[in-house]
Amino acid sequence: MKAFAAALYMAMAQAELMHKVDYDFMRYVSTHNKMYGTVEEFELRKETFARADAWIRNVNSNPESTYTAGHNRFSDMTEDEKRVLFALKDLPKPPVDDLEYVVDDEEPNALPTSWDWRTQGAVTPVKDQGQCGSCWAFSSIEAIESAWIIKGNSMTIMSEQELVDCSSSTGNQGCNGGWYFWSYEWLANNYTMTEADYPYTSGTTGTETACAYNASKGVTKVASYGRTLGTSKNLTRIQQQPVNVAVAAGNNVFMYYTGGIITTTSGCPTSIDHAIVAVGWGVDNGTQYYIVRNSWGTDWGENGYVRIQTSGGVGVCGINQYVYYPTL
């Protein structure tokens, strides 16, 4: 009798849990305006959501977790659908001794405890790359936009679509990936255009279009670009301007991040696949972190930003490996 009661209790608990998952999924569908074509797809999406939900609950219930996680537009997506966003995953990576870039060999300065270019009006609003592997173009343009402001110019929103459509001659592959340093090589001979003159469309179409570059509507070229090596030199360069960084983002730690600091204990891998921009740093309870803007909209992370602990070696989520900056 006791065994039967225990089994019944477990069945009831499982039914209650399943009911809650169903309820949470329906709320998720409504919140994110999701639409599915068939019952089979609905069930597949619900199963995917349930796996994400279990992982998120585990993170948030762990008293040792340094960050929080939550649902977003990725919670019902398949791995193939997510892979579209990670434009650096299958691209060649430059070796450390690559002579085509300038390594920043300046000695680190005495650094302040914190630095944030957002508070100085040198960072443009957070953007959304949509369903196109164009993170590299957003990282390139956002670093240029900040450098342009720091040089004393007014805030100007520039065009990612121009790079997506037009910079294949230097190695970039539109929605299939690219690198910020390849963007800078193309912009050594071509001007950036404004978003108003060359609007971003690939986020909804998932593909590039015919190049519509118009030099007469150009804003600025890139005179050169450099690369830093090591956390202290990274911070020294960030104090001068926001910098391009690449991280491992195609994992639960990064994708479902909602706040806090991703640290060395968070389990984020280091094989990079995504380009973003570091705009400052800070310290919280003795933990120093980079302030990094993403290109997944303001409903991801901390209003579009993530804090990643500074460390030696390749860095948390691999952030120390490919730190570049443009000079206008």
Q: Which residues are annotated as catalytic?
A: 135, 274, 294
- Residue 102's DSSP bridge partners are 226
- The CA–CA distances, whole Å, from 284 to 185, 289, 311, 315 equal 38, 8, 14, 18
Give the span between the Cα atoms of 302 and 103, in whole angstroms: 31
Question: For the whole model, what pTM was predicted?
Answer: 0.91
Per-residue pLDDT, 169 = 97
Q: Evaluate whether 318 touches 246 at the Cβ level (below 8 Å).
A: yes
Please state, for a pLDDT cut of 90, what percent of the chain lies above it: 81
Burial of 82 (0-12, 13-18, 19+ CB in 10 A): middle
Per-residue pLDDT, 304 = 98
Q: Which of 101, 87, 184 is nearest to 143 (CA)?
A: 184
Per-residue tens of pLDDT for the chain, all 328 residues: 444 344 434 444 454 555 778 889 999 999 999 999 999 999 999 999 999 999 999 999 999 999 999 999 999 999 989 988 898 988 888 765 543 445 566 666 789 999 999 999 999 999 999 999 999 999 999 999 999 999 999 999 999 999 999 999 999 999 999 999 999 999 999 999 999 999 999 999 999 999 999 999 999 999 999 999 888 899 999 999 999 999 999 999 999 999 999 999 999 999 999 999 999 999 999 999 999 999 999 999 999 999 999 998 899 999 999 999 999 9
pLDDT digit string (tens) for 126-184? 999 999 999 999 999 999 999 999 999 999 999 999 999 999 999 999 999 999 999 99
Instruction: Report the alpha-carbon angle 295-301-307, nearest 5.
Output: 95
pLDDT digit string (tens) for 297-326? 999 999 999 999 999 889 999 999 999 999
- The CA–CA distances, whole Å, from 40 to 43, 72, 321 equal 5, 22, 42
Helix then strand count (H, E) for the chain reads 9, 10
